Amino acid sequence: MATDNEPNDRSDVDVDVVVVGAGFAGLYMLHRLRGLGFSTVVLEAADGVGGTWYWNRYPGARCDIMSVDYSYSFDPELEREWRWSEKYATQPEILAYANHVADRYDLRRDIRFATRVERATWDAGDRRWRVITSAGAEIACRFYVMATGCLSLPKSIDIEGADRFGGEIYYTHHWPHGGVDFTGKRVAVIGSGSSGIQSIPIIAKQAAQMTVFQRTPNFSRPALNGPTPQAKLDAFKADRDAYRQAARLSPIGVPAPVTMVGALQVSEQQRRAVYEAAWNSGDLLPTTFADMPTSAEANETFCEFLREKIRSIVKDPATAEALCPRGYYYGTKRPCLDTGYFETFNLPHVRLVDLRRTPITTITNKGIQTTAGSMEFDAIVFATGFDAMTGAIVAVDINGRDGLSLKQKWAEGPKTYLGLTTVGFPNCFLITGPGSPSVLSNMMVSIEQHVDWVSDTLDYMRRAGLETIEPTGTAEAGWVQHVNDGADITLFPQASSWYMGANVPGKPRVFLPYIGGVDRYRKACDEVVEQGYLGFRFEGTGGARCNDGVIRRVQPDVTIVMEVIESLRLPPIESMSATTA
Ligand code: NA7
């Protein structure tokens, strides 16, 4: 890893763009903006690049989208020179890739490391953002880009007594760089999401005793990690461009067959064959049946198949039953891929505590107390998740036009146009923000699409002499409605998931990502541009204009129905009256 990361630069500067975050989104954003000749500063809280892959160093951390897919596509040379060693790369390998990219494109010189953004304020007079960093610097910029990731702000530990524990405490999202040796220790892990499911089998191999505190059981299937499947490599090598394009035009950002067949349209035998193939695919998002996200009855057939698998693996029937997910439908909470997760519960030194039956009452100096009694531990690992999608954005004190605070604006749930912009915050962009496919897709594909859209927009504005861009209220309201309508025809809103904000006490229950698919979403973003930036208002020295409109619906055949409500061409700024300002 490079060591020339410059921490805490205190100098005040004035640049075209400030980007917050040096994860995969921030790195590519910087690369694109530099290529277009925009002066750019990236502000990063960590002392290295990689974002989520910098922080989440827990044992077993790896991606669960195949690495061939979970990598940049913007430069064929980069693709040619980088070889992933496994189908699902480990966190160290993904972090090495992020560092390779930072070095290869000489990105570090524009990144201020160990620098947290504390406040960003729109200065309407100057038409610039003023960004205050933890180092005390003020950076002025025309455009402000939040590339802060969807799962980057950890959820506060909401368990009584957590600060009383006298033993070792670890958080999967903030793991010690030197690793942890659990040999001979009595270890508790709280949480059975992806981080828990990936780390528990590995920690269990070291620990003398291991106790898993599970609130909600999760659906998980074997990752079957190993070399990248030859068929995938062949398809990729045969025609790289076609492969990448297929990913961009797929529902989830990974080339995969799409089915129109419903689970209840086929015989039980045929259904089982599809489910067995899914189980043996080692693929997070295998193609099963078209009605899986929308039909409770169809979805339940897969849920029961997966429960049967758990029962067939876990020897103790009571433990197996406690591990069986119930009360929500497959996919409506983020499913997992694992390596020996359920098998771990067959080990004699591993036990499961079902918090639905015996909730934690408090954490004590020596361990954890549930309604069933107290247990003592040497170490507690918190794998309790994130304030997803909005947490990291509103953690920064962002103030837009007329002093409007983003946190206040989003108090009842995020409101965006395309998940990219929000009314009241001119020249502010969100990479993979709420209301975009983001976490329901291969993040790399969604990141590249957003970064390209923002870069192209900034380039267009410069050429057209436009200084500010902001969505209209009509466009934003229409998009929010469209995002909600999409979610409401699925089973997703029924689950208490982080997609719904339900994991964070007090967070409004709103479906956060866009469920219409990467393909339709891309089409919508492209159409917005083709229709003269439908739903955006621009101002600049050359005048102001607004093509107000709304995306009415995105049809299944990927046509977008858009309606232009009114097209306004406003006079140059110098002569603009209060009604047009
Ligand atoms: P997740 O998926 O949000 O999992 C967090 C887990 O911690 C989940 O099982 C939670 O149960 C559990 N949790 C959270 N708070 C508590 C309390 N107070 N008591 C007991 N259990 C609790 O986060 P991950 O880090 O595992 O994964 C995040 C994403 O990263 C993952 O989806 C992939 O996209 C990669 P709950 O389900 O809320 O009942």
> How many Å lie between the centroid of ligand 1 and the Cα of residue 367?
20
Mean pLDDT of 38-62: 97
Ligand 1 contact via 325 beta carbon (within 6 Å) = no
How far is 452 from 450, CA to CA, in rounded Å? 5
Which of the listed residues 174, 215, 442 should we mutate to test ligand 1's pocket, taking the one with most ligand atoms within 8 A of CB?
215
pLDDT band at 546; cut points 50, 70, 90: confident
Ligand 1 contact via 192 beta carbon (within 6 Å) = yes
Please determine, for residue 23, whether its predicted confidence score (pLDDT) is greater than 60. yes
Mean model confidence pLDDT for the chain: 93
Please determine, for residue 579, whether its predicted confidence score (pLDDT) is greater than 60. no
- Per-residue model confidence as pLDDT tens digits over 321-332: 999 999 999 999
- Per-residue model confidence as pLDDT tens digits over 414-470: 999 999 999 999 999 999 999 999 999 999 999 999 999 999 999 999 999 999 999
pLDDT band at 531; cut points 50, 70, 90: confident
> How many Å lie between the centroid of ligand 1 and the Cα of residue 204?
19
pLDDT band at 257; cut points 50, 70, 90: confident
What's the count of helices (H) and strands (E) in the chain, helices before strands?
Answer: 16, 22
Ligand 1 contact via 384 beta carbon (within 6 Å) = yes
SS (H, E, C) 280-298: CCCCCCCCCCCCCCCCHHH
Nearest to 254 by CA among 375, 73, 422: 73
> How many Å lie between the centroid of ligand 1 and the Cα of residue 548?
40
- For atom 6 of ligand 1, the residue with the nearest CA is 191
Residue 258 is predicted with a pLDDT of 86
How far is 53 from 63, CA to CA, in rounded Å? 9
- Name which residue leads in pLDDT, 379 or 5: 379
Ligand 1 contact via 52 beta carbon (within 6 Å) = no
Mean pLDDT of 359-364: 98
Number of residues in the chain = 581
Q: The tokens of 99 are what?
A: 């560092």
Q: For the chain, state the CA radius of gyration.
A: 24
Ligand 1 contact via 161 beta carbon (within 6 Å) = no
pLDDT band at 299; cut points 50, 70, 90: very high
**Helix (H, G, I), strand (E, B), or coil: what is residue 510?**
coil
Closest approach atom of ligand 1 to CA 56: 25
How far is 66 from 76, CA to CA, in rounded Å? 18
- The percentage of the chain sitting over the pLDDT mark of 70, rounded to a whole number, equals 93
Ligand 1 contact via 220 beta carbon (within 6 Å) = no
Which of the listed residues 52, 194, 360, 504 should we mutate to test ligand 1's pocket, taking the one with most ligand atoms within 8 A of CB?
194
Please determine, for residue 558, whether its predicted confidence score (pLDDT) is greater than 80. no
SS (H, E, C) 190-251: ECCCHHHHHHHHHHHHHCCEEEEEECCCCCEEECCCCCCCHHHHHHHHHCHHHHHHHHHCCC
Residue type at position 454: V
Ligand 1 contact via 289 beta carbon (within 6 Å) = no
Cβ distance 396 to 120 under 8 Å? yes
Q: What is the pTM of this model?
A: 0.94
Ligand 1 contact via 194 beta carbon (within 6 Å) = yes
- For atom 31 of ligand 1, the residue with the nearest CA is 194
Nearest to 20 by CA among 175, 133, 124: 133
Please determine, for residue 574, whether its predicted confidence score (pLDDT) is greater than 50. no
- For atom 3 of ligand 1, the residue with the nearest CA is 385
Ligand 1 contact via 152 beta carbon (within 6 Å) = no
Cβ atoms within 10 Å, residue 397? 14
